[in-house]
Amino acid sequence: MLIFFAILAFLATILGGYFAFRYRNRLHFVMAFAAGVLVALAFFEILPEAFDLIESNNVSSFGPMVAVLGGFLSFYFLEKFMVVHSCTEEGCENDHHENIGFLGGIGITLHSLIDGLAMGAGFLINPSIGILISIGVVLHKFSDGLCTVALMLTNKNDRAHITSFLIAVALAPVAGIFLPQVIKISEISLTYILAYFVGFFLYIGASDLLPEAHEKGNSIYLAFYTTAGAILVLLATKLI
């Protein structure tokens, strides 16, 4: 059963990436949609999971909220650091965009690895819990694939790099499934990891994708696409 859901998660991610490639001529709408998805994932899925762990382990919320801020600021400073130290005068703009795409790809891959970890841990606790978690993971893997390709297309990465990261994001949950069998990750550690990714997704969605989308197409329709992405995640989270 676990392998079945791992395959579904892989295929859903690839399908989301294909969708972004297929409609790349309307990339600003895809970016706006992806921004809504990422921000909604942070608020409606990842942050509530972190708070559930905070409550179940009876720890203060202060540390995880610092991790949220750390996730936002660390990617901001890392992006700026990489831009300052890696670009030439002529190629600075291109290097800047490529670095953001690279960082975004790494972040989404790590998030997908944690998705797989959640699936594997769920089945270890109880098969019913594992199935519910796996359904949720599969439902939002489409948006992960879409966000990966949209982010890297936006930031001028070439097709080879985009394909490599899309495959990495698709394989990450498959690898993550087996992590609970190999290494022990405490719930408190997982709380901080989830909180860190909240900050990361807020940064990517609000500070990178949305401004880029509106720069390429300043239309009221973009706001509807962003809202649609957020509502999709909200509905999927509520249903699951």
Q: Collapsing DSSP states into helix, strand and coil, what is residue 88?
A: coil
Q: What are phi and psi of 88, to 5 degrees?
A: -90, 170
Task: Tell me the C-alpha distance between 135 and 145, whole Å.
Answer: 16
What string of pLDDT tens digits covers the 240 residues of the chain?
Answer: 778 888 898 999 999 899 888 887 777 787 788 888 888 888 887 788 888 888 888 888 899 999 999 988 887 776 666 544 444 444 444 555 555 667 767 777 877 887 787 788 777 767 776 776 777 678 668 878 887 888 788 767 778 888 888 999 999 988 888 776 677 777 788 788 778 878 878 887 888 777 767 776 667 888 888 899 889 888 877 765
So what's the pLDDT on residue 129? 65
Q: Which amino acid is at 180?
A: P
How much is the pLDDT for 218? Answer: 66
- How many domains would you assign to the chain? 1
Say how many residues make up the chain.
Answer: 240
Distances (CA, A) of 218 to 9, 23, 25, 115, 210: 34, 18, 16, 34, 11
Domain interval for residue 202: 2-239
Contact at 8 Å (CB) between 211 and 155?
Answer: no
Report d(CA 14, CA 149) in Å as an integer: 10
Instruction: Please give the pLDDT value at position 240.
Output: 58
d(CA 80, CA 237): 34
